[in-house]
Amino acid sequence: MEYEKELEIGVRVVQLACCLCQKIQKGSFGPNPDLVVSKLDDSPVTVADWSVQAMISWILSESFGRENVSIVAEEDTQTLSDVKSTSLLASVVTTVNESLAMAPRFGLNGPTAPLEASEVLDAISRCNSSGGPVGRHWVLDPVDGTLGFVRGGQYAVALALIENGRVVVGVLGCPNYSSKRKLVNNSSAPKSDLWQEGCVMYTKRGSGQAWMQPLVCGDGTLEWPNSASVIQVSSIDNPVMATFCEPVEKANSNHSYSAGIAYSLGLRKQPLRVYSMVKYAAIARGDAEIYMKFAKAGYKEKIWDHAAGVVIVEEAGGVVTDAGGRPLDFSKGVYLEGLDRGIVACSGVNLHEKIIGAVYASWDSSHL
């Protein structure tokens, strides 16, 4: 029963976080442009990013003891602490407290009194671990695919646990990825179904299985683990029939090189371009067979963009390595150091070997 409590708390808190995100998208998010701001690197961040990070940080600390919890996460408080961000911080505090008030419905303990702004900022700031090869570190991307969230497309809440450099628990909440419908390009759930359509996928290392639950927002109560079903990767190993995923954004991904690899392999379907780690989720549940990402020179992959998705795909029967065929190394800190050219995730060994071979055959002439 190793990691059983960590997995259960992880699923419950990600379910709650997904409902927080849905509430923001459905209600306060639309009419208030101040809820989306730019960070110093010009990437977007929203009230949802900070609110999810604060809420998950607080619950993990309450569940396992603050002194025992190390969290590596994407957001900091620099923008929120700015004197000009008073209304933004107030929105985050309100959202966090509204979410924590729902915690008992998800089998979690909330605070006895609403959190103050200083407590919310403290919860966000505590997520400042750099990880590493020793000890336990939670890895969180509060809203993976913020552009997808802003534009009404796919996004994910990604939480993983790394122990001694190895991902041992992965939970991936996909609020706009229907538990009953296949994924399509940049898809979002129909507005009328927004509160019921999402799903949460999860696993623990060594289980040999991954599971999926529908989201429980609205007035539902989370039934753990009775509402879960087992998911498996696709059995398709013929490239002609395979579905291929890649990022939407061109800034950190070379679409033309991926297209060349796809052509050389005989992939005939148009690539499924989707925001966030939902691409890993699509492979884990059999909606796609291949995910390739080849970053442009100088870009470094961050562990929170991959940890949860990698372990879920692997336990669902898939294969994930770098483009040289080596396992991804989560022991080096915030970044996937030593990554060989790119990342390749597949539903099976046969497809994986063909892709790795195509990369070796074409890389020298790629100019990447």
What pLDDT tens digit does each residue of the chain (368 aa) get?
799 999 999 999 999 999 999 988 876 444 454 567 877 667 788 999 999 999 999 999 999 999 999 999 999 998 888 766 788 899 999 999 999 999 999 999 999 999 999 999 999 999 999 999 999 999 999 999 998 998 888 999 999 999 999 999 999 999 999 887 778 776 544 444 444 479 999 999 999 999 999 998 877 778 888 789 999 999 999 999 999 999 998 777 888 899 999 999 999 888 899 999 999 999 999 999 999 999 888 889 999 999 999 999 999 999 999 999 999 999 999 999 999 999 999 999 999 999 999 999 987 665 54
User: Cα 108 from chain centroid?
Assistant: 21
Kindly indicate whether the domain formed by 239-365 is annotated with CATH number 3.40.50.720: no
**Bond before 225 cis per omega within 30 degrees:** yes
Crossing angle between the packed helical segments 86-101 and 4-26, to the nearest 10 degrees = 120
- What angle, 0 to 180 degrees and rounded to 10, lies between the N-to-C axes of helices 86-101 and 117-125? 90
User: Which of 46, 77, 95, 146 is the catalytic position?
Assistant: 146
Fold exhibited by the domain 4-231: Fructose-1,6-Bisphosphatase; Chain A, domain 1 (3.30.540)
The pair of three-digit structure tokens given for residue 255, joined into one six-digit string? 């679409």
What is d(CA 363, CA 138) in angstroms, rounded to the nearest whole number? Answer: 35
The amino acid present at 205, given as its one-letter code, is R
Neighbours of 368 (CB within 10 A): 13
Q: Is 322 marked within a binding site? A: no
> Could you tell me if 328 and 343 are in contact, meaning their C-beta atoms sit under 8 angstroms apart?
yes
Query: Is 146 tagged catalytic?
Result: yes
Cα 266 to chain centroid distance, Å, stands at 30
Largest Cα span, the chain: 62
**Contacts with 107 (C-beta within 8 Å, 6 or more apart), sequence order:** 12, 222, 224
Please state whether 350 falls in left (phi above 0), alpha (psi between -120 and 50) or beta. alpha
Instruction: Calculate Rg over the CA atoms of the chain.
Output: 19
H/E stretch holding 280 = helix 278-284
Catalytic residue flag (residue 76): no
Asked if 170 contacts 203 with a C-beta cutoff of 8 angstroms, the reply is yes
Q: Is 193 annotated as a binding residue?
A: no
- The pTM assigned to this predicted structure is 0.94
Q: Quick count: other Cβ atoms within 10 Å of Cβ 292?
A: 27
Spatial distance between the Cα atoms of 306 and 144, rounded to a whole number of angstroms = 10
237 annotated to a ligand binding site: no
Residue 239 preceded by cis peptide, ω within 30 = no
- Is 305 marked as binding a ligand? yes
Domain locations in the chain as residue ranges? 4-231, 239-365
